[in-house]
């Protein structure tokens, strides 16, 4: 999950509820004359490395994350790094996504609603990730794009295929939320000359 905030220095309060700062964090920011964060966008990535879905609102429990965020990932069929029976954090190099598979998946166009992944473009269709046929459809689409046999993995609702081990280090949990400072996004766009948005 990614939250883009307008704040001088982004930070993660211990408890986020409906994407508002906790009272304690807000009070601390006020005492220090720092601006209060303004959430500008909310992104959820149902399948790791796939296109995100923009959310208008989300409620997050303490030490939780966005519902269905990175609950799924696509790995090579031969990958034995991840065991769904005993899910643990695994480095993203073991999974397919725009970061590893480049244009083959960077140009993928999908949306996720109520457990169903909808493909737009050449692979139009809807995959119910809760069914074997739905998971097989995702595997077929991605396999044809990357030119390899792949498998769709999940560790259940309590597991997240996160980019870092920070959640594991802090509270023995893979689930995390990334706060991105909107000023940093603008700085990267300016430095690279690319239309970087978040």
Confidence of residue 150 (pLDDT cuts 50, 70, 90): very high
Q: What is the mean pLDDT of residues 99-128?
A: 89
Helices (H), the chain: 23-31, 98-101, 103-106, 132-146, 166-171, 182-192
- Dump pLDDT digits (tens) for 116-143: 999 998 888 999 999 999 999 999 999 9
- Residue 8 or residue 162, greater confidence: 162
Q: Which residue has the tokens 């948005």?
A: 197
CA distance 117 to 135: 10
């Amino acid at each position: 999950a990614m939250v883009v905030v307008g704040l001088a220095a982004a930070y993660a309060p211990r408890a986020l509820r409906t994407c508002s700062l906790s009272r304690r964090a807000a009070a601390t920011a006020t005492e220090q004359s720092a601006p209060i964060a303004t959430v500008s966008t909310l992104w959820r990535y149902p399948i790791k490395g796939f296109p995100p879905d923009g959310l208008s609102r989300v409620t997050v429990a303490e030490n939780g994350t966005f519902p269905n965020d990175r609950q799924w990932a696509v790995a090579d069929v031969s990958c034995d790094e991840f065991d769904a029976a005993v899910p643990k954090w695994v480095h993203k190099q073991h999974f397919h996504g725009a970061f590893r598979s480049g244009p083959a998946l960077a140009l993928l166009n999908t949306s996720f609603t109520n457990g169903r992944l909808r493909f737009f473009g050449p692979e139009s269709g809807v995959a119910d990730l809760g069914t074997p046929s739905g998971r097989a459809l995702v595997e077929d689409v991605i396999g044809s794009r990357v030119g390899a046999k792949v498998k769709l993995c999940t560790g259940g609702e309590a597991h997240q295929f996160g980019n870092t081990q920070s959640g594991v280090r802090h509270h023995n949990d893979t689930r995390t939320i990334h706060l991105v400072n909107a000023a940093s996004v603008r700085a990267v766009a300016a430095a690279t000359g690319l239309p970087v948005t978040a």
